[in-house]
Amino acid sequence: MEENRAWEPEAGGSFGGWPAPREARAGPSLSSVLNELPSAATLRYRGPGVLPWGALEEEEGGERSIPAFSEASRKELQEPSSPRELPWPMQARRTYRQSQSRNQMAQDSKSRVSNWALLLRRSKEKMREGLRKVEPWAWTLKRIGGQYGAGTESYFLLLRFLLFLNVLASVLKVCLTLLPTWLEGAPPGPPSPNTSSPCGSYNPNSQGLIAYSSQLFNLLSGRGFLEWSPLFYGFYPPRPHLAVAYLCSTFAIGLFSLLLILRRSVSRLKQTLLAESGVLTSYSHRVFSAWDFGLCGDVHVQLRQRLILYELQVELEEAEVQRQAAERTLGQQARVWSVRVLLNLLVVALLGAAFYGVYWATGSTEKLKSRPLDQRMPLLVLGVEYLPSIFISGVNLVLPPMFKVIAPLEGYTRSRQIILILLRTVFLRLASLLVLLLSLWSEITCKGNAEDEKCKTCGYDYKNLPCWETRLGQEMYKLLLFDLLTGLAIVLLIQFPRKLFCGLCPGALRRVGTQEFQVPDEVLGLIYAQTVVWVGSFFCPLLPLLNTAKFLLLFYLKKFALFSTCSPASRTFRASTANFFFPLVLLLGLAISAVPVLYSIFLIPPSKLCGPFRGQLSIWAQIPESIYRLPQITQKFLFFLGTQAFAVPLLLLSSILMMYTLALANSYGRLISELKKQIETEAQNKVFLAQRAVALSSTNGAL
């Protein structure tokens, strides 16, 4: 009775809850629906030899799967669980047991390796969490990012990174330069003014009674009592070990800076590529996936809300500019490119005028100091001393606002405008620094003419510059000090009075007192200051220590100015662009700073009356002399590193590794593109199935 009732047909086309046979089903079969999917149009993702969707069902009607499963289960159950049950001889059983034991040992070793790898990974994660907890100003940076956007936060992140670089450079300079100077004995005093040599005489100390104002001027210019002090190159005595340590400290600072900047750039590169590719910049990601559910407290929640708001604002602005660019006609594009060409010609003209002004100011300094009127007025002498620094700072204050006015006229997105402003401003700052150095080196080397009367005897102008390394250190010292004084004056004498005065006024004047935090200008100021330190650390060994104190003061000053006088930016830009592009510009500054330092080390003869390399043909000549004092085996090894027998295999190995890395990156790129296409196809499948479901439901409802 039960079986007969179960097979009675019902109105729905099934028999008592059992599905109807395939021939009795109404409508299209499952295989035909699956074959209409967008992904069924190609076998790209399923590989060769894979049957179309539902082919197994149509051919065999589901009857083959059950016997196949039964056969597999029977074979599995028939396998003996012990070697004793196998019909094998003893030797075969012994071999089988040995292979089983080896496999078991391999699995145990793999499990131990995996356990160690897991333990190491967890320890690394705990270490990273611990370092995040002890990171300085973590809460301050989070608050800045929430209230003023990720672009402003990126400035303070870069400032913290540069502060760490300067602390590291200061430790290296103190350990490799300052401590060996005093450990080997007290350094000798300045040379006697009566000392006669073919390269003249050098007397850095002032004679007679010195007024208090003169001491203040000496502090600002690096002359007088500071000229023969551990602050500058000329103070350090000519000792072989000290000379090698002095030179190695410079190379160590450059190497560590390069590695840390590259590490920071590569770590930010992943975020930048994802942001620019559009994978993580969709609005759905910001709305549904950007929230942190571990936040506690109203303050943290509000900061996260503001951060997501800024990110959405950036995406909307970028999308609007891209839409306008896509809708331009051919005539509009020609007009836009014509405007861009004219504006770039204007930028080139402004940069050329600025560079000529820096060159003129540097060349006129010595002429103005030699005038009798200037020598009688100490304040005027100080102004002449600072003339190149004043001109460079003036150019850096006037031209960047002009670049900011020009950039929006070119029709680029906000992120592209930031990049253009940064490129032009960094070229202005770093190139003006290079022009200053070139003008100084033209004075040192008599414009490259070794046969000149001033440079023929010693290889440099010993009459005007008896210790040219100290003179370069003084110029870098003045640039650093003047940059700090300029920043303090702008904040204390312009921004704060403007905020206080306009805050007392009603209406529109109150809004005038609140200004935006200009991220590009501030970032370029940091990179310019750090480039000055990299250039001057060889000629002024304690310059990184001074820059550490400067950046520490600057952090609190900018933080106070930001929360007191600045409002959130009306137009923001992507944090990924800033986090990747800022270290890239910093890397450019490091490369530019390496050129004058290496030129001084290898090509210009050192001063004969000051410094640890006095008496050498070049600064680098001290290194081969020190190598010759080492044991014979060490000498052969070090000289082998400079031969072609070592360089050519190293170059070939580097080329092979680079080609392998490029091939691996290309394969990963193709795999990622294929996976993206597969995701798109899966999305189309879902849309198609949803449409068919709606169509079938509407058809059943009509019936």
Neighbours of 240 (CB within 10 A): 12
Q: Given this model, what pLDDT does residue 446 score? A: 81
Q: Given this model, what pLDDT does residue 10 score? A: 40
Q: What percent of the chain has pLDDT over 70?
A: 73
Higher pLDDT, 226 or 83: 226
DSSP category for residue 80: -
Q: What is the mean pLDDT of residues 166-175?
A: 93
Q: Given this model, what pLDDT does residue 530 score? A: 93
Per the prediction, the chain carries an average pLDDT of 76
Q: Is the pLDDT of residue 16 over 50?
A: no
Of these ranges, 43-52, 179-188, 573-582, the one predicted with the greatest mean pLDDT is 179-188
Q: Given this model, what pLDDT does residue 144 score? A: 83
3-state secondary structure 154-178: HHHHHHHHHHHHHHHHHHHHHHHHH
Confidence of residue 286 (pLDDT cuts 50, 70, 90): low
Of these ranges, 16-20, 23-27, 233-237, 248-252, the one predicted with the greatest mean pLDDT is 248-252
Q: Is the pLDDT of residue 162 over 60?
A: yes
Q: Is the pLDDT of residue 165 over 90?
A: yes
Q: Is the pLDDT of residue 209 over 60?
A: no
Closest C-alpha among 51, 50, 53 to residue 34: 53
What would the two tokens of residue 623 be?
């290194």
Taking the C-alpha atoms of residue 531 and residue 524, their distance in angstroms, rounded to an integer, is 10
The answer for 319, left when phi > 0, alpha when psi is -120 to 50, beta otherwise, is alpha
Helices (H), 458-574: 468-490, 496-503, 508-512, 519-536, 543-565
Q: Given this model, what pLDDT does residue 268 score? A: 66
Closest C-alpha among 410, 436, 402 to residue 521: 402
Q: If residue 515 lies in a helix (H) or strand (E), which one and from where to where?
A: strand 515-516
Q: Given this model, what pLDDT does residue 169 score? A: 94
Higher pLDDT, 324 or 33: 324
Q: Given this model, what pLDDT does residue 24 score? A: 43
Q: Given this model, what pLDDT does residue 371 score? A: 63
Model pLDDT for residues 674-685, shown as the tens digit of each residue: 887 888 888 788
Q: Given this model, what pLDDT does residue 171 score? A: 94
Q: Given this model, what pLDDT does residue 166 score? A: 95
Q: Given this model, what pLDDT does residue 424 score? A: 83
Q: Is the pLDDT of residue 17 over 60?
A: no
Q: Given this model, what pLDDT does residue 241 score? A: 86
Q: Given this model, what pLDDT does residue 508 score? A: 62
Confidence of residue 7 (pLDDT cuts 50, 70, 90): very low
Lowest-pLDDT range of 114-123, 275-284, 389-398, 518-527: 275-284
What would the two tokens of residue 147 be?
């209230």
Of these ranges, 40-44, 411-415, 451-455, the one predicted with the greatest mean pLDDT is 451-455
Q: What is the mean pLDDT of residues 223-240?
A: 86
Q: Given this model, what pLDDT does residue 54 score? A: 47
Confidence of residue 515 (pLDDT cuts 50, 70, 90): confident
Nearby residues of 184 by Cβ (< 8 Å), 6 or more positions away: 239, 241, 242
Q: Is the pLDDT of residue 538 over 60?
A: yes
Q: Is the pLDDT of residue 128 over 60?
A: yes
Q: Is the pLDDT of residue 65 over 80?
A: no
Q: What is the mean pLDDT of residues 638-647?
A: 82
Q: Given this model, what pLDDT does residue 63 score? A: 45
Q: Given this model, what pLDDT does residue 540 score? A: 92
CA atoms within 13 Å, Cβ hemisphere of 365? 23
DSSP category for residue 617: S
Q: Given this model, what pLDDT does residue 682 score? A: 82
Q: What is the mean pLDDT of residues 342-369?
A: 80
3-state secondary structure 365-408: HHHHHCCHHHHCCHHHHHHHHCHHHHHHHHHHHHHHHHHHHHHH
Q: Given this model, what pLDDT does residue 516 score? A: 75
Q: Is the pLDDT of residue 699 over 50?
A: yes
Q: Given this model, what pLDDT does residue 435 score? A: 83
Lowest-pLDDT range of 363-367, 462-466, 642-646: 363-367
Model pLDDT for residues 232-283, shown as the tens digit of each residue: 998 888 888 888 999 999 999 999 999 999 888 877 666 666 555 555 455 6
The answer for 517, left when phi > 0, alpha when psi is -120 to 50, beta otherwise, is beta
Model pLDDT for residues 300-336, shown as the tens digit of each residue: 677 777 777 777 777 777 777 777 777 778 887 788 8
Q: Is the pLDDT of residue 208 over 60?
A: no
Residue 316 Cα to chain centre, angstroms: 26
Q: Given this model, what pLDDT does residue 88 score? A: 66
Q: Is the pLDDT of residue 413 over 90?
A: no
Lowest-pLDDT range of 126-140, 343-357, 545-559, 630-644: 126-140
Q: Given this model, what pLDDT does residue 255 score? A: 93
Confidence of residue 447 (pLDDT cuts 50, 70, 90): confident
Contact 421, 520 (CB under 8 A): yes
Model pLDDT for residues 82-123, shown as the tens digit of each residue: 656 656 667 777 777 777 777 777 666 667 777 777 778 778
Q: Is the pLDDT of residue 703 over 70?
A: no
Q: Is the pLDDT of residue 450 over 80?
A: no
Taking the C-alpha atoms of residue 234 and residue 598, their distance in angstroms, rounded to an integer, is 18
Higher pLDDT, 413 or 532: 532
Dump strand ranges (E) for 563-696: 566-567
